[in-house]
Amino acid sequence: MMNITCFVIGMIGTNVYLLKDEATGKLAVIDPADHSDELLEQIEENGGDLAYILLTHGHYDHIMGVAELCEKYHPTVCASRVELPVIEEPSYNLSKYHDITVKPFTVDRALEDGDTVMLGETELRLILTPGHTIGSGCYITDDCIFSGDTLFCSSVGRTDFPTSSMRDMMASVERLKNLEGDYRIYPGHDIFTSLERERKHNPFMR
């Protein structure tokens, strides 16, 4: 069983997720957008065993807090292998255009499509969903999809950035649409939704 806590962090309101595997107490953070006292307090209150940082993609508003968490907790940082150039290049991660410096960090596990991460007894599987960036991905566990900036409530992520592709985005949305069953969708911004709702109401899934 997994517990999920969402924090809205950073200058453009990124959804940052703290996951806890209830059986073991191990923790993971998805997309640490920036420094957050509240997030740090919750990590400590939940035992401080931060095992993983999982990145859906490399834009600055999803990675600004990675280095700080690495220095304090030494977790394993995971991202798709295809996304590594986006994380590392300021013009690709968009920090260059906002006069922001992203403190460097190392991606410890470069994941391929379908690779899994074991958070205690909870398995999370990465599926590649390029479009917003070349190596964007979603993490799937149980009945949850952490969709980053691929899928939103009634919309999808922007495709006018370096390495973006609307063609890839539409293929990625189709891949999500064709997953069997329903899932709770935890996006990188804005409100939560469900896959079944998006199948019915999202114009990009029709």
Q: What residues does 19 pair with on adjacent strands?
A: 4, 28
- Delineate the domains of the chain, giving CATH numbers in brackets: 2-205 (3.60.15.10)
For the segment 5-42, what is each residue's pLDDT rounded down to a tens digit?
999 999 899 999 999 999 999 999 999 999 999 999 99
Distance CA 117, CA 82 (A): 17
Residues 6+ apart with CB under 8 A from 87: 55, 58, 63, 79, 93, 107
Average pLDDT value for the chain: 97
Give pTM, 2 decimals.
0.98
For the segment 107-135, what is each residue's pLDDT rounded down to a tens digit?
999 999 999 999 999 999 999 999 999 99
pLDDT tops 90 at residue 206 = no
- Upper half-sphere CA count for residue 142 (Cβ side, 13 Å): 13
